[in-house]
Amino acid sequence: MTDAIRVDRLHFAYPGGVQALDDASLTVRIGERWGLAGANGSGKSTLLHHCAGVYAADPHVTVLGRVASAENLPWIRSQVGLLFQRASDQLFLPTVREDVAFGPLNLGLARSDVERRVETALRQVGLVDRADRAPHQLSGGEQRAAALATILSLEPAVLALDEPTNDLDPAGRRSVIEFLNKWQGTILIASHDLEMLLEVTGQIAILSAGHVALTGASRAVLGDAASMARYRLEVPASLLR
């Protein structure tokens, strides 16, 4: 079976020389739900960006069977919905509705299909009544919900979510967890919200200094106190009870 994501010994340095990924490898099969955990600066966001085809072509990354070559990058971006860590990086049009329509319009869909996708995505994140507001006039949590709607409207095969529960109130966080638990596709989530990762994912990869240092079943990895301490993490309280 084709893998959803295959990252094979990826090295990546940002301009200026910071080595953000150092021999990182990860395989995510179609339908799997993975969490990326690790200290600040360990490379989680950088790895997610690579999986979503946002950076330059790289032969060490393969998405849904297609290598991340220059000619495949636009297709990869249409298949992997990337939620940026900062919602403001994702919202740039005058209204929420236009931002949510942007992706489907770029796919060249008919107007009626675009409108249907926009309404569905806004409903999924609970923002129907904010649709005609300017994104910068929304609260932090509302902006994160709007950013999530901009990728749901793409109807992607893979969700690559960078800190999806940041800024959300407990009820908003709960609805994201419930939504993700119902969502059928492949999921990759970078987060420090380890309780959420425990509820939503089946597997965890721990990053350390740009390297995937440890992978395994979520409960086993997050419940391993020695590993958690080694990688600047903590065993989630729900596993201590």
Residues that bind ligand ATP (CB under 6 A): 14, 16, 18, 20, 38, 40-46, 85
Q: How far is the CB of 46 from Mg ion (least distance, A)?
A: 8
Cα angle at 72 between 52 and 203, to 5 degrees? 35
Between 50 and 173, CB nearer to ligand ATP: 50
Region binding Mg ion by CB under 5 A among candidate stretches 67-75, 79-87, 130-138, 208-216? 79-87
Assess 45 for contact with Mg ion (CB under 5 A). yes
| Residue at token pair 């796919």 | 107
Q: For residue 128, what is the DSSP state?
A: G
| Residue at token pair 């990826």 | 10
Partner that binds at residue 40, options ligand ATP, Mg ion, none, CB closer than 5 to 8 Å by kind: ligand ATP
Q: How far is the CB of 113 from Mg ion (least distance, A)?
A: 33
Partner that binds at residue 81, options Mg ion, ligand ATP, none, CB closer than 5 to 8 Å by kind: none
Q: Name the token pair of 229.
A: 């301490």
Q: 123-182: which residues touch Mg ion (CB under 5 A)?
A: none
| Residue at token pair 């949510």 | 100
Q: How far is the CB of 44 from Mg ion (least distance, A)?
A: 5
Give, for 238, the enclosing helix (H) or strand (E). Answer: none
Q: Are 34 and 188 in contact (CB under 8 A)?
A: yes
Between 38 and 156, CB nearer to ligand ATP: 38
d(CA 236, CA 133): 37
Q: Name the token pair of 17.
A: 């020389």
Between 104 and 164, CB nearer to Mg ion: 164
φ/ψ of 186, rounded to 5, equals -80, 140
Assess 191 for contact with Mg ion (CB under 5 A). no
Q: How far is the CB of 131 from Mg ion (least distance, A)?
A: 28
Q: How many residues does the chain have?
A: 241
Between 48 and 152, CB nearer to ligand ATP: 48
